[in-house]
Structure 1
Amino acid sequence: MAQKFPRDRFDSIPHGIDRVGAHRAPARRGAGWITFGWAALATVVLAAVGIGGVMVFNDRLNFGEAPVASPSATPVVTAEPVIAPDIPVLVLNGTATAGLAAKASETLTANGVPVGSAANASDETLTETVVYYATPDLEGAARGVAQFLPEADVRMSEQFAATGNQLVVVLGSDYAEATAG
């Protein structure tokens, strides 16, 4: 038989408390947003510290003084332009302009540069004229060729050396525009 106990203060449940036997006050309104805010802030801080740590570890972030260019910085040394009569030049037209390789070949031959052959490049949408040389010792010869071609740049590339060509001129649309007049 169930025993009857006298009523006390714990028998009266305040209005709005759904859980019986819980000895805590109801949760404050908006308490979940405060917890979410602290969690979001902690996430942002930890991510920033992690990214900063990785950047410092990889030497991408330097907290020292900013580098200052010294007035005595050594300039980039380039080879003097020379004509190499024993190295024939391959001239490739990298534009849709017909006869451009032949025109450049005539200019080079007239200035003492030997031209091995002239042809169209596989890409006809090139915008810049470049004289490629296969080995570092050919930079002077490449600059010698480039001095006769307006807008020509000089770059080392071993790609053409595999085909047996030491000096290759690839004409771009800048050469076509410079010689159009």
Structure 2
Amino acid sequence: MTTRYPRDRFDDVADGPRVGAHRGAQRRGRGWIAFAWAALATGVLVGLGVLVLALLNGSYSFTGSTEPSASSSASASATPSASASSPASQAPAAATPADQGSTTLVVLNGTTTTGLAAKASAALTSAGWKVTSTGDAGTTGTTATIVYYQQTSQAAVAQGIAKSLGVTAVQQSAAFPNADISVVLGADYAG
């Protein structure tokens, strides 16, 4: 099937037996090839973007380690789910620093007071607890200091940490996935 092109200036050339420029027939399907490459590139870029955001957010890591990173724990939100909370009166007796074992402990400053997390970390260290890292909580308007723990078996250790800080609020929560026990310091913490 021959395609006829509109008449142009090359059709007026009369220097030989041929008239007009040679134009090959257009190949069918070339638009789909370009579309397929564009769709593939878009998919790869979206996938990489999601992966980078997940890594920056701390919701995904390539290591099997349970050690929290400073940037992940610093961006953690200080608002746990209310359904996962457990009153302190139902928790077992407080544990000692010797009972901590390999439990990771993070101290987060939930106020605008500079150096409060370091001050609390020093107090816990002098009481014998091993603080894994310190940082700022995701919010700065926290009024009450709360010790959050992930698993029921860590309730006694959380009670011991709360006792060392001179607070009583202890809650079970999955809001801080990068540490076994997270202390969010509020405006009530005097140090």
The two structures have a TM-score, normalised by structure 1, of 0.52
Residue matched to 2:91: 78
Larger Rg: 1
**2:171 aligned with 1:155, yes or no?**
yes
Structure 1 stretches lacking a partner, 5+ long: 1-75
**2:152 aligned with 1:136, yes or no?**
yes
Instruction: Indicate the SS of the match to 1:174.
Output: coil
Question: How many residues are treated as equivalent by the alignment?
Answer: 100
Instruction: Indicate the SS of the match to 1:138.
Output: helix
**Deviation, structure 1 residue 152:** 4.1
Counterparts of 1:16-165 in structure 2, within 5 Å, are 77-82=90-95, 83=97, 84-161=100-177, 164-165=178-179
**2:169 aligned with 1:167, yes or no?**
no
**Deviation, structure 1 residue 159:** 1.8
Distance 1:154 1:132 in 2: 6
Residue matched to 1:27: none
Are 2:159 and 2:168, in contact at CA under 8 Å, matched by a contact in 1?
no
Instruction: Indicate the SS of the match to 1:173.
Output: coil
Closer/same/farther in 2, CA of residues 152 and 101 from structure 1, 3 Å limit: farther
The C-alpha deviation readout for 1:93-137, integer Å capped at 9, x for no partner, is 000000000000000011111100000111111000000000111
Distance 1:87 1:126 in 2: 24
- CA RMSD in angstroms comes to 1.3
Distance 1:154 1:127 in 2: 14
Closer/same/farther in 2, CA of residues 152 and 170 from structure 1, 3 Å limit: farther
Are 1:94 and 1:126, in contact at CA under 8 Å, matched by a contact in 2?
yes
**What percent of counterpart residues are identical?**
38
**Deviation, structure 1 residue 80:** 1.4
The structure 1 segments of at least 4 consecutive aligned residues displaced by more than 4 Å after TM superposition are none
